[in-house]
Structure 1
Amino acid sequence: MKVIKYSGDIVDFDPRKLRKSLAKSGAGDLVVEDILHKISKEIYNGISTKKIYKRAFALLKKEANSHAARYNLRSALQLLGPAGFFFEKYIARLFDAEGYQTVTNLILPGKCVSHEIDVLIKKDNELAMVECKFHSARENKSDVKVPLYVFSRFNDLKERKQIVFSKNEIVSKCWIVTNNRFTSAAIDFAKCSGMNLLSWDYPKDNNLKTKNDIDCLYPVTCLTTLSLGEKDKLLILDVILARELVNNSEQLVRIGLSASRIKNVLKEVRELVRCI
């Protein structure tokens, strides 16, 4: 059975991949096998992976909103656009959770010119710049031109001492983060140049997918009990992570939710932030 990926590539349907993604949602083995059985009966030659995803999402939502929310992570990251401003804030939250000091959206002087920095991070007296490359379309990849360009900016920045967290600090490391993927050439150049990359699936065991499984750092855009407009309002209020609502439910009042809806949202949030 052939399926059409987001990129337009035609590949064989692999039930193992679907089973793995369903299991990562937190659904039990019986639920996973039942959904896999139903979808396997419904698919046809030439079906898109997008349709398979939508069907799996709907079936998971019938079981538990939090299962569907976890399964929805990659699409939820795309909702942090369209310009990527909230994606930058989300990435800062990821580094915050790992013990970094962070600042977003600032301008630093280099040796030759000034540079707009998406996120600046500091840990163990090491200062690093983080360039965020947001893609609104899932099939888009960050190619080798991205690390080439960012590397030149990094080289200019590291020639000047900065005053952000404290005086006379030097930007000694560079990260590039994307919600999608990097091409193999981009990864090769970054490795050779000593740059750090973070994407949907890279590095293999410490990527955007695994970081969420470990620390439950799901964005509010994952939540299935909120409309798109309500999610946008929360982002504007600087509520970026779903877990920030656990002890901050008054923000749900501020965006106009009724008491009964707030109860439903918080139920999903509490289930979602129980790391699986």
Structure 2
Amino acid sequence: MKVQKNSGIIVTFDSNKLRQSLLKSGAGKKTVESVLQNIEHELYDGIPTKKIYKLASQLLKKVAASHAARYNLRNALLLLGPAGFFFEKFIARLYEKEGYKTLINLNLKGHCVSHEVDIVAQKELRNTMIECKFHNSSTNNSDVKTPMYILSRFNDLKVNRHKLFKENEKIDRCCIATNNRFTSDALTFALCSGLDLLSWDYPFNDNLKIKIDENALYPVTCLTTLSAVEKEKLLILDVILASELLQHSEKLNDIGISHNRQKNILKEASELCKN
């Protein structure tokens, strides 16, 4: 059976790959096999993977909304746009969970020109400049031009000292974070140039998906019990993570959600955040 990926490429349907992604949602083996059987009955030659993904999400939600929420993680990252400002805040939250202090949206003077810097993260007195490359489509990857451009900015900034967490600090390292993937040339260039990269699937043992799952740092956009408009309103109120919604549930009142719906939303958020 052939399926069509979002990029338009035709590939052979891999039931085991789908099984593994369903298991990572937190669903039990019996549920996963039931979902797989239902999906296999709906397959036809050339079916878009987007349709398979949507059907799987609907079936998981019937069992538990939190399973569908985890399964929807990559799409949830796309909803941190369209400009990517909320994605920058999300990445800062990830670094803070790992013990970093962070500053966002800085304007720093380099040796030649001034630069807008998305995030500076400090740990053990070392400062890392983090540039976020946000994509609105899952088919768009960051190519070699991205690390080339950011390396030139890093080289201009690291010469000077800056007012960061205190006066007269240097920028020691540079990292590029994206919600999608890097091309092979981008990975090769970054490795050769000493740049750190963070993407959906890189580094292999410590990528964006692993960091999110291990720390239960799911964006509020994962929640299936919220509409797209409600998710955006919460992001504007600086509720970036589902765990933050649990800590500040009054924000649901602020955006006009009824008491009955609030219980369902908070239940899903609570289940989602359980490691």
Please report how far the alpha carbon of residue 206 of structure 1 lies from its aligned counterpart in structure 2 after TM superposition: 0.8
Distance 1:197 1:108 in 2: 22
Please report how far the alpha carbon of residue 100 of structure 1 lies from its aligned counterpart in structure 2 after TM superposition: 0.5
Aligned to 1:169: 169
Q: Deviations over 1:100-155 (max 9, x none)?
A: 11111110110000000011111011001111010001101100000000000000
Q: Which runs of 4+ in 1 moved over 3 A?
A: none
Aligned to 1:14: 14
Aligned to 1:239: 239
Q: Pairwise mapping of residues 1-276 of structure 1 onto structure 2 (< 5 A)?
A: 1-275=1-275
Q: Deviations over 1:172-194 (max 9, x none)?
A: 10000111100000000000011
Secondary structure of 1:131's counterpart equals strand
Distance 2:53 2:141 in 1: 20
Distance 1:209 1:13 in 2: 23
Distance 2:9 2:97 in 1: 36
Distance 2:182 2:245 in 1: 32
Please report how far the alpha carbon of residue 208 of structure 1 lies from its aligned counterpart in structure 2 after TM superposition: 1.2
Secondary structure of 1:117's counterpart equals strand
- Of all paired residues, the percent bearing the same amino acid is 62
- Provide structure 1 residue ranges, at least 5 long, that are not aligned to the other structure: none
Q: Deviations over 1:141-170 (max 9, x none)?
A: 100000000000000000000111012211
Please report how far the alpha carbon of residue 8 of structure 1 lies from its aligned counterpart in structure 2 after TM superposition: 1.1
Distance 2:128 2:75 in 1: 28
CA RMSD of aligned residues (A): 0.6
Secondary structure of 2:120's counterpart equals strand
Please report how far the alpha carbon of residue 226 of structure 1 lies from its aligned counterpart in structure 2 after TM superposition: 0.5
Compute the TM-score of the two structures, normalised by the length of structure 1: 0.99
2:84 maps to a residue whose letter is G
1:49 maps to a residue whose letter is T
1:161 maps to a residue whose letter is R
- Provide structure 2 residue ranges, at least 5 long, that are not aligned to the other structure: none
Please report how far the alpha carbon of residue 83 of structure 1 lies from its aligned counterpart in structure 2 after TM superposition: 0.6
Distance 1:39 1:237 in 2: 38
Distance 2:3 2:208 in 1: 25
1:135 maps to a residue whose letter is H
Secondary structure of 1:120's counterpart equals strand
Please report how far the alpha carbon of residue 237 of structure 1 lies from its aligned counterpart in structure 2 after TM superposition: 0.3
Please report how far the alpha carbon of residue 212 of structure 1 lies from its aligned counterpart in structure 2 after TM superposition: 1.4
Secondary structure of 1:129's counterpart equals strand
Distance 1:149 1:212 in 2: 27
Distance 1:242 1:141 in 2: 27
Please report how far the alpha carbon of residue 87 of structure 1 lies from its aligned counterpart in structure 2 after TM superposition: 0.5
Q: Deviations over 1:55-94 (max 9, x none)?
A: 0000001000000000000000000000101000000001
Distance 2:149 2:247 in 1: 41
Compute the TM-score of the two structures, normalised by the length of structure 2: 0.99
Please report how far the alpha carbon of residue 29 of structure 1 lies from its aligned counterpart in structure 2 after TM superposition: 0.5
1:42 maps to a residue whose letter is E
Distance 1:97 1:72 in 2: 22
Distance 1:83 1:248 in 2: 25
Distance 1:119 1:167 in 2: 17
